[in-house]
């Protein structure tokens, strides 16, 4: 099945997808950035459920409910360990594992933030290439996921992802 890849600017908690991805660490406590926004709008219940499922290996993902958010699932993508650092290989791997988990959960649409580029300090251009490549590589291998949306908070990041997706 073909997969539609979309690049949007905005707040990921407002994404019109069945699942949204949290930029997580491997112990799954939810700090600032995307995690803070999800916790604020979805409720503490999400962090409690996530922590109970951890720790997980860096590069892996787990799903929880979405609390007060309208989504079916929050997929917590562990892009880093407790050093809060990441790299291209991990970002690619965690993107792949998050999409595969969504597919297993019969999710049709999933939204990602730019993993690692906030607290992680990872460069947005390398992130864009790694995440988009991982999404494209799964085309043809998915049963349920038909739409993958990348939601970028600021205009500059949006432009970098938009350019990477057009290559």
Taking the complex as a whole, the smallest distance from the CB of residue 85 to ligand AR6 amounts, in Å, to 10
**CB closer to ligand AR6 out of 30 and 142:** 30
Taking the complex as a whole, the smallest distance from the CB of residue 2 to ligand AR6 amounts, in Å, to 26
Near ligand AR6 in 104-123, by CB under 6 A:
113-120
The H helix count followed by the E strand count for the chain is: 5, 6
The separation between the first and the last C-alpha atoms of the chain, rounded to the nearest angstrom, is 21
Q: Is 67 left (phi over 0), alpha (psi -120 to 50) or beta?
A: left
- Applying CB under 6 A, which of residues 21, 63, 157, 161 lies at the interface with ligand AR6? 157
Q: Which of 142, 120, 140 is nearest to 130 (CA)?
A: 120
- Contacting residues toward ligand AR6, per CB under 6 A: 11-13, 23-25, 30-35, 37, 79, 84, 113-120, 151, 153, 157
């Amino acid at each position: 099945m073909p997969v539609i890849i979309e690049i949007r600017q905005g707040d990921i908690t407002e994404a019109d997808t069945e699942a949204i991805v949290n930029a997580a660490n491997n112990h799954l406590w939810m700090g600032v950035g995307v995690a803070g926004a999800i916790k604020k709008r979805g409720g503490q219940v999400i962090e409690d459920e996530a922590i109970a499922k951890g720790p997980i290996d860096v590069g892996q993902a787990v799903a929880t409910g979405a609390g007060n958010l309208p989504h079916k699932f929050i997929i917590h993508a562990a892009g880093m360990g407790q050093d809060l650092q990441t790299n291209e290989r991990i970002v690619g791997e965690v993107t792949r594992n998050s999409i595969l988990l969504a597919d297993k959960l019969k999710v049709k649409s999933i939204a990602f933030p730019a993993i690692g580029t906030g607290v992680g300090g990872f460069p947005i251009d390398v992130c864009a290439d790694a995440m988009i490549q991982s999404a494209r590589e799964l085309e043809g291998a998915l049963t349920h996921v038909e739409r993958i949306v990348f939601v970028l908070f600021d205009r500059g990041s949006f432009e970098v992802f938009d350019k990477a997706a057009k290559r």
